Amino acid sequence: MTHIATLVCDPAMPVLTSDMLRRAGEVLNSQHSPRWLAHGIAADIFFELGPAAGTNAIAGRVRASLANAAVDVIVQNMEGRRKKLLLADMDSTMIGQECIDELAAEIGEMAHVAAITERAMRGDIAFEPALRERVTLLKGLDRATIMRVIANKITLTPGGRALVQTMRANGAHAVLVSGGFSVFTSVIAAAIGFDEHRANELLFGEDGRLSGLVAEPILGKNAKRAALEHFREKHGLVAEETLAVGDGANDLAMLEAAGLGVAFRAKPRVAAAAHARIDHGDLTALLYVQGYRRDEFVGG
């Protein structure tokens, strides 16, 4: 056996069946019985990958065999499956919102700002100037309003705490790295259990209100990749021992540099380019992909 196909669905809607595993096994020409990681939710199929086959192409063939069922398929090399470093995006990945859009809602600019955010996350416009433009519109917001947004508008993505705490319990280092703002990442990282966080800094005026400026240099696509490389070297790891997850175009360089880069409910360009994609499962899918069984999860 050289490779693994992990089939996983949303644990809130278990739809994975033995018949699906049988069909997937036929596509993969597997000679081994599937292994359930969580009945009805996630399972592994072990197989030999031919020299000319690509993992994304194989995953696509398996998905097609499942008749568009709400099941994700991740194909990877069996060696080095469990990762020792996790870098995760925040907005629309570890949380369900885009923080800057929620701040803009406080001043009646959500539709305008959200449209710019969407274009930037799709990769249609450059991230850095788009961030500066949106931050300018936030001028005058006070810190109390920002904290109220965090408390009342921001929700954690299901499975995030289990992902981070299970990996950390097994010796991995976890970093929240965001093109958003440290005032948010400091709270979210603590709530989920990350070891540390990196993000952009909103600048406040002497009156305690946002100045409409963000500290330079902006943490964008290249900075996210640099963060992955920094933490990899700091912990003496090779690329294959790293896992990165994100949804937007500013995550792509980080995803490409990781041993396993996962597009989580991502924009089309990101989903197409990443090593693997999660469209249906929650963040515990990243534990199943590493071979963790449900009874091995920590936290949640």
User: In the 8-state DSSP scheme, what is residue 162?
Assistant: H
Give the domain extent around 16. 1-79
Catalytically annotated residues: 89, 91
Residue 52 pLDDT class (50, 70, 90 cuts): low
Q: What percent of the chain has pLDDT over 90?
A: 95
**CATH number for the domain that contains residue 51:** 3.30.70.260
Q: Is residue 252 part of a domain?
A: no
SS (H, E, C) 236-258: CCCHHHEEEEECCHHHHHHHHHC
Residue 9 pLDDT class (50, 70, 90 cuts): very high
pLDDT at 203 over 80: yes
- Of 4, 44, 3, 50, the residue nearest 21 (C-alpha): 44
- Of 139, 116, 72, 90, the residue nearest 244 (C-alpha): 90
The token pair that represents 227 in the structure block: 């963060």
pLDDT of residue 1: 67
- Of 60, 88, 64, 85, the residue nearest 75 (C-alpha): 60
Q: Is residue 32 part of a domain?
A: yes
pLDDT at 285 over 80: yes
Q: Is residue 34 part of a domain?
A: yes
Residue 49 pLDDT class (50, 70, 90 cuts): confident
pLDDT, tens only, 59-103: 999 999 998 899 999 999 999 999 999 999 999 999 999 999 999
Q: Is residue 284 part of a domain?
A: no
pLDDT, tens only, 149-167: 999 999 999 999 999 999 9
pLDDT at 266 over 80: yes
Number of domains in the chain: 1
Q: Is residue 14 part of a domain?
A: yes
Q: Is residue 163 part of a domain?
A: no
Tell me the whole-structure pTM to 2 decimals: 0.96
